[in-house]
């Protein structure tokens, strides 16, 4: 049986490794010599050769760099501003309790108390005592108001004649004309003895912008009372100008006829 063999005791040849190392170094030396002999390109120049020359630069050392300011409304969230939120209403202070006077107490009049004006009773109506009320009559405790302000202007009625070109298609515009003329017809200025009179017919021309020519207003049918005829003509002139003619109206002007009926 062979004994244990120690590998470290066996000698290792070093000649081949020595010659390999010498050959490697000689190759590297030859490569450096060849590289130094070969022509090279011009080195790259970065920047200007004669750069600088402006002297020293002063540098100010600061602890922090300020941020540029901006113009605009102040942000109430980022800045310390007063609160814009509505404040609750102040609490009402409790009123001091006033002690009720005793039932048997006698009030003492003060010198600084304001004197109340004495109210005198109105004189009795001696005519009312002599008036006899009828069983079929309604009476009021106060006198009825009698004033021209309560009279209805155009009482009796104002209507558009059959010779007007509005018809049913432009009936709304005709109603505007009738209502406006009725507001300007003052029947309270006529003779109160006039009750039922013949109708007054007035013709006039409405231009495209709603204006009315004074010469176009004519009374074609008279009632027999000159004041009534003039009041109807004046109602047309006072009510003018009217609204412009409606869109889609086939003509640039409208020859209109109005009928005034006095009924009292």
Read off the pLDDT of residues 93-135 as tens digits, 9 standing for 90 and up: 887 777 777 777 777 777 776 666 665 666 676 766 777 777 7
214 within some domain = yes
Decide if pLDDT at 92 tops 50: yes
Q: Which of 32-36, 83-87, 135-139, 194-198 has the lowest mean pLDDT?
A: 83-87
| CATH number of the domain where residue 181 is located | 3.30.1150.10
129 within some domain = no
| Residue 164 near residue 245, CB atoms below 8 Å | no
- Which range of residues forms the domain containing residue 165? 158-260
256 within some domain = yes
Between CA 40 and CA 18 the distance in angstroms is: 35
Decide if pLDDT at 29 tops 80: yes
228 within some domain = yes
254 within some domain = yes
Which pLDDT value is given to residue 153? 42
Between CA 227 and CA 222 the distance in angstroms is: 10
Decide if pLDDT at 75 tops 70: no
- Structural domain count, the chain: 1
Which tokens is 70 given? 């901006």
182 within some domain = yes
Most confident of 20-24, 34-38, 150-154: 20-24
Question: What number of CA atoms fall less than 13 Å from residue 140's CA on the CB side?
Answer: 4
Give the global pTM. Answer: 0.41
Decide if pLDDT at 20 tops 80: yes
Mean pLDDT of 145-171: 63
Separation of first and last alpha carbons in the chain:
163
Which pLDDT value is given to residue 99? 77
The residue that leads in pLDDT, 21 or 112, is 21
Which tokens is 179 given? 């209502």
| Residue 252 near residue 205, CB atoms below 8 Å | no
Rounded (5°) CA angle 211-215-217: 75
Rounded (5°) CA angle 37-43-46: 165
pLDDT single digits (tens) 198-229:
889 999 999 999 999 888 999 999 988 898 89
231 within some domain = yes
The residue that leads in pLDDT, 15 or 255, is 255
């Amino acid at each position: 049986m062979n004994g244990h063999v120690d590998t470290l005791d066996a000698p290792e040849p070093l000649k081949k490794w020595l010659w390999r190392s010498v050959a490697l170094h000689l190759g590297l030396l030859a490569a450096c010599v060849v590289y130094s002999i070969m022509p090279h390109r011009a080195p790259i120049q970065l920047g200007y050769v004669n750069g600088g020359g402006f002297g020293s630069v002063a540098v100010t050392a600061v602890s922090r760099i300020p941020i540029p300011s901006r113009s605009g409304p102040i942000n109430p969230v980022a800045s310390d501003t007063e609160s814009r939120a509505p404040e609750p209403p102040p609490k009402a202070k409790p009123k001091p309790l006033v002690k009720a006077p005793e039932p048997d107490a006698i009030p003492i009049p003060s010198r600084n108390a304001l004197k109340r004006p004495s109210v005198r009773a109105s004189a009795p109506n001696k005519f009312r005592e002599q008036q006899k009320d009828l069983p079929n009559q309604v009476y009021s405790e106060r006198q009825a108001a009698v004033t021209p302000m309560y009279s209805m202007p155009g009482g009796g009625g104002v209507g558009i004649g059959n010779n007007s070109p509005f018809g049913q298609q432009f009936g709304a515009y005709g109603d505007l004309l009738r209502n406006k003329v009725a507001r300007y017809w003052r029947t309270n200025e006529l003779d109160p003895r006039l009750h039922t009179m013949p109708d007054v017919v007035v013709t006039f021309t409405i231009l495209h912008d709603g204006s009315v020519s004074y010469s176009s207003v004519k009374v074609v049918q008279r009632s027999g009372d000159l004041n009534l005829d003039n009041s109807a003509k004046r109602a047309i002139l006072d009510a003018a100008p009217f609204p412009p003619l409606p869109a889609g109206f086939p003509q640039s002007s409208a020859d209109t006829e109005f009928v005034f009926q006095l009924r009292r």
